[in-house]
A and B are shown apart, each in its own frame.
Chain A
């Protein structure tokens, strides 16, 4: 079925999926930390809109709560905290040199194709929107992991970690109209605690190696010194 023949809700969700996926790619190629955090907040905002849209179109009121939680946590609190850390460390002008940007971006693109391939067996039993939404959210998860592998700063790792959560949240809204309330609240609580813990860890890593470059955390390994 062509996209023009779908109803408005489906079209809107598919566009959102595309935009959120795009945001992940933007993050992947980003060398400046403040811009990375900005794009992350933008992705959070898109998620909030998706949740609100879903809540309105499907008359599913508990999704408004999820949207509110996302807005407060992922658009405001976490970007604010990360930004404060970056400014405190004077890392806002640092450009993080990615080892091989082209290769990383190509890797990201392959991961997206891979996500569609993995979820292919579900196609027969689902609508377009489900398959697209699930595949996009899986690729956001994988892109978040790639972001963590390719970047060296702890701040970028946290952004990657949180964007993985974004991908999962997107899957939960679109594919299943949100998880049961108790689970959503629990997940939001976990994300909040994790964010606070990350803040604490930045402080400790900074005092212990005088930088947030995680590559320098390399004392523990199985290789003979």
Chain B
């Protein structure tokens, strides 16, 4: 359990350190150092779970099981590679005069604050603390969205603050209802502990839990970016600094979905049917289709990919909602590969925007001629996220499709149609950006692309083969969520 405490302590020290020391030229490297330590702690935790199974802390405040351990590792990994990218990126932004030392100090301490909130969401066993950490993540990132202090970024941050704040307040009402149902069957001290609730799920009042789940889904769904609560997401992604878009898309959305799924498991236990899942399926499918259509009309490259995030979160919500071993397994895999691919794409998008000096899609042209590595990175990343074989996204989307054909065959055409629309939407924008004629005024930037290659390499590998320990975690988590193993 020491590893879990370390995981929370390191980013906390990071906030204090960056807050006290201010910004210096090597702060980016120190940030990498903190994230490396967190990553090592997460690996240590993973190895322990691998050897001895689920871990509980002595007072049951923390719980690490096969469902969250891989998300913890993924969070630490994406946090690390994004910090490697953000050092030179932020230095470049400072050279352009967009940021000063004080803002960079804020950036680095809030980066660690965000990581702390994410680790807390994943490790805690207390549904109330999970809510607190989720709201904490909003507060930590609000300042990052407005980092450039342009009118647009202030507007985006305000929208994000208000919409996510109000949204997540609904989740708190859901949590209070859950607690209300729980105190009726047990002692109030442990009534919000997930492990206790899960064991006694069949005794909880199903009527109360059904109502609670509506609030929880709307609340955390705002953070997942489910349509029609998604308005903050493209704005926040497009106006904030790019490394933050990478962690928002790669981590925050996943963790919000994680919170919904944990709650769904309780509701399923109480109601003994899949009524909660049907709700998730509806929201997921709607988000997926709407986002796919909106991909076509984007003008800003970061908005383009934030709609792609909404689309993929829609698929995951749909798959988790459908339930059953195959769909759940596919959703877990999709969470992983989407995080890896999307954060890699945002890294290249950040560089591409710096090369062209703008985020306007019409003005970004001929990347392969200016700086081939960035051009190819963007192209391969897009190929991967659009779900081409042999990348991992193909595998998980294929499995979702398979499960849909088996359980709800009449929905499969909709899913296929959405994937087709999304594919066309992405490539009509990407093709000229990568292959088009090189315009005047482009300047190569110092780019650090090995995080991208590493991520895409991993996604490629996951498309061909899933390593034993990961497959094992996925199956155990599937067993936990849906009651049967997929394999």
Contact = CB atoms under 8 A, between A and B. Distances in A.
Interface string B202-218: 00010110110000000
A205 to B, nearest CB: 6
B91 interface: no
A171 B176 contact: yes
A176 B183 contact: yes
A193 B139 contact: yes
A209 B158 CA distance: 13
A161 interface: yes
Nearest to B178: A176
B208 A125 contact: yes
Contact of B179 (A138, A179, A208): A179
Interface stretch (A34-42, A93-101, A181-189): A181-189
A222 interface: yes
B128 A183 contact: yes
Contacts of B183: 176-177
Interface stretch (B164-172, B271-279, B313-321, B362-370): B164-172
B176 A175 contact: yes
A201 B154 contact: yes
B151 A208 contact: yes
A99 to B, nearest CB: 19
A190 B130 CA distance: 12
Contacts of B191: 180
A55 interface: no
A190 B126 contact: no
Contacts of A148: 162, 166
A180 B128 contact: yes
B434 to A, nearest CB: 25
Interface stretch (A17-25, A46-54, A116-124): A116-124
Main secondary structure of the interface of A (DSSP, over half): helix
Contact of A172 (B151, B176, B205): B176
B252 to A, nearest CB: 16
B192 interface: yes
A186 B165 contact: no
B54 interface: no
Contacts of B180: 130, 134, 175-176
Interface string A135-151: 00110010011001000
Contacts of A154: 158
Contacts of B210: 121
Contact of B128 (A145, A179, A208): A179
- A125, A137, A187, A197: residue with the most chain B Cβ atoms closer than 10 Å: A197
A197 B142 contact: yes
Interface in B25-70: 61
Contacts of B139: 190, 193-194, 197
Contact of A220 (B146, B156, B176): B156
A35 B297 CA distance: 45
B132 A217 contact: no
Given A176-B188, A182-B128, A219-B152, A161 B172 contact: no
Sorting the interface of chain B by its residue count into under 10, 10 to 19, 20 to 34 or 35 or more gives 35 or more
B143 interface: yes
A193 B128 CA distance: 18
Interface in B176-231: 176-177, 179-180, 183-184, 188-189, 191-192, 205, 207-208, 210-211
A222 to B, nearest CB: 7
A74 B155 CA distance: 26
A61 interface: no
Given A138-B173, A176-B179, A219-B152, A197 B129 contact: no
Contacts of B152: 219-220
A137 B215 CA distance: 14
B126 A180 contact: yes
Contacts of B151: 208-209, 219
A121 B211 contact: yes
B205 A125 contact: yes
A162 to B, nearest CB: 10
B239 interface: yes
Contacts of B297: 222
B373 interface: no
A122 B211 contact: yes
B156 to A, nearest CB: 6
A93 to B, nearest CB: 25
Contact of B129 (A175, A183, A194, A220): A183
Contact of A168 (B172, B211, B238): B172
B161 interface: yes
Contacts of A177: 183, 188
A182 B129 contact: yes
B208 A122 contact: yes
Interface string B117-135: 0000000001011011101
B235 interface: yes
A84 interface: no
Contacts of A217: 154-155, 158-159
Which 4 A-B residue pairings sit nearest by Cβ, starting from the closest?
A183-B128, A186-B132, A121-B207, A217-B155
Given A138-B173, A148-B162, A179-B128, 18 more contacts: A121-B210, A122-B208, A125-B207, A144-B166, A168-B176, A183-B126, A187-B131, A187-B135, A193-B136, A197-B139, A197-B161, A201-B158, A204-B146, A208-B149, A217-B154, A217-B159, A219-B152, A220-B159
6 contacts: A121-B208, A164-B169, A194-B135, A197-B142, A201-B146, A205-B158
